[in-house]
Amino acid sequence: MASNVNPTVRRRRLGMELRRLREQKGMTAEEVAERLLVSQSKISRLENGRRSISQRDVRDLCGVYEVEDQRVVESLMQMAKDSRQQGWWHAFGDVPYSVYIGLETDAASLRAYEPQIVPGLLQTRPYAEALIQGALPETSTADVEKRVQVRLRRQERVSAEENPLRLWTVLDEAALRRIVGSRSVMREQLEHLAEMSRLPHITVQVLPYEVGAHPGLNGQYAILEFPDASDSSVVYIEGVTSDLYLEKPLDVQKYSVMYEHLRAQALNVDQSRQFIADIAKGYAR
């Protein structure tokens, strides 16, 4: 197995396979937990990929599910070993929303709605610095720099020459009007945003104030889709102390439909680019 395998995605795949084996056996998570003398929450976290899975966990679960094919057991054990490798973000120490970074790193496409700020993947360094300092006023200078470095490293997914992340973002006009840092920082940021929107794999649409009420008023969210059909799409909702990940098909479908409504109500690509350019000129004045 290659050393650059994404541990977050491997953990999700392994969890899905373990859930499939449990369901084939006709057992509930409570029954499995009782057999292994562990909590039901541990079984749930193993299956949804939110907890690191050891080879011993896999061996014990395969025993409960009476998996007789040794090749299947060995394959799952290898997946458990791979899932415990460290992703590139671990080099930065304790990084917030590391689960999301792991998913984003392996995603094929990302649809994001941002009501207040420019998305992290399209931020300039000065904008990112000012945003983090303003949002987290008690954060040390060193921690701000670490967060900025992680954000810039994430941007390599949209700037890659081969297989770049397909990014579609809908921005509320408020994200363009809110002055983060200074007027010069905003001018540079909006010019960068307009330029990035010209790339064939990046689409930026603006939702102007005049639209009024719209489906995105409940807040920011992102939908991640993956190249492997076995990996289910994920809706990511960022929180202050914890994040929410929705993977049930019905949940993903509801957010996808909501996103289509946002796209339909937003300005088209050319109009959005001109809208952003006009606001940037205003900051220049």
User: Could you identify the residue written with the tokens 């303003």?
Assistant: 134
Residue 61 CB coordination number (10 Å): 22
Tell me what percent of the residues of the chain surpass a pLDDT of 70: 94
Interval 81-107 mean pLDDT: 77
224-266 residue pLDDT tens: 998 877 778 889 998 877 788 888 889 999 999 999 999 999 9
Task: Write down all domains in the chain, each with its CATH number in brackets.
Answer: 7-85 (1.10.260.40), 89-284 (3.30.870)
33-72 residue pLDDT tens: 888 888 888 888 887 776 778 888 888 888 888 888 888 8
- Position 14 scores a pLDDT of 79
Of 21-25, 147-151, 205-209, the range with the lowest mean pLDDT is 21-25
Look up residue 210 and give its two tokens: 């005049």
Interval 280-285 mean pLDDT: 90
Task: Kindly list the strands in the beta sheet with 109-114, ordered across the sheet, starting from the edge strand earlier in the chain.
Answer: 202-207, 166-172, 109-114, 221-225, 234-237, 244-246
Tell me what percent of the residues of the chain surpass a pLDDT of 90: 51
Rank 88-102, 149-163, 197-211, 222-236 by mean pLDDT and report only the highest: 197-211
- Position 2 scores a pLDDT of 36
234-237 and 244-246 as β-strands: parallel, antiparallel, unpaired? Answer: antiparallel
**Nearest residue to 176 (alpha-carbon basis) of 191, 186, 188, 166:** 186
Burial bucket for residue 107 (CB in 10 Å: 0-12, 13-18, 19+): buried
168-222 residue pLDDT tens: 999 999 999 999 999 999 999 999 999 999 999 999 999 999 999 999 998 999 9
- Position 1 scores a pLDDT of 33
Identify which has the larger pLDDT, 48 or 107: 107
In the predicted structure, residue 27 carries a pLDDT above the cut 80: yes
- Position 115 scores a pLDDT of 95
Please say whether the beta carbons of 155 and 101 come within 8 A.
no
